Amino acid sequence: DQQVKQNSPSLSVQEGRISILNCDYTNSMFDYFLWYKKYPAEGPTFLISISSIKDKNEDGRFTVFLNKSAKHLSLHIVPSQPGDSAVYFCAARSSGGYQKVTFGTGTKLQVIP
């Protein structure tokens, strides 16, 4: 049962344009959502997060939007840069004391110069 889903395995975007990565979830008990970026042969690195009580969080070129009624979140990257080319994972934390974090399957972003 995939509680966090990223339905697009890959995405190609021209440099300077907007990249939009999508994520859907099924568990209403998630209280935090996070995005991670992963380069080949490296561990994932934290990018940005959003609390379930908010609908938007922005950090420089990265903005995450949360639509709780649709159980959907998205990551916007503006403008996209070639160095943004990586695999992006959406993740969600279960509320409660155990901090269990569930990841999606990832979206490979390619930013074309």
Partner 1 sequence: DAGITQSPRHKVTETGTPVTLRCHQTENHRYMYWYRQDPGHGLRLIHYSYGVKDTDKGEVSDGYSVSRSKTEDFLLTLESATSSQTSVYFCAISSGTGSTEAFFGQGTRLTVV
Rounded distance, CA 22 to CA 11, Å?
11
State both tokens at 6: 């990223």
Rounded distance, CA 104 to CA 13, Å?
21
Does residue 100 touch partner 1 according to CB under 8 A?
Answer: yes
Please state the closest distance from residue 14 (CB atom) to partner 1, in A: 26
Those residues with Cβ within 8 angstroms of residue 33's Cβ, 6 or more apart along the chain or in another chain = 23, 25, 49, 50, 52, 64, 66, 73, 90, 91, 92, 93
Q: Is 74 or 105 the residue whose CB approaches partner 1 more closely?
A: 105
Q: Which stretch binds partner 1 (CB under 8 A): 17-25, 61-69, 70-78, 88-96?
A: 88-96
Q: Is 11 or 15 the residue whose CB approaches partner 1 more closely?
A: 11
Please state the closest distance from residue 30 (CB atom) to partner 1, in A: 12
Does residue 97 touch partner 1 according to CB under 8 A?
Answer: yes
Q: Which of residues 15-74 bind partner 1 (CB under 8 A)?
A: 32, 34, 36, 41-46, 49, 51
* Residues engaged in binding partner 1 (CB under 8 A): 6, 9, 32, 34, 36, 41-46, 49, 51, 89, 91, 93, 97-106
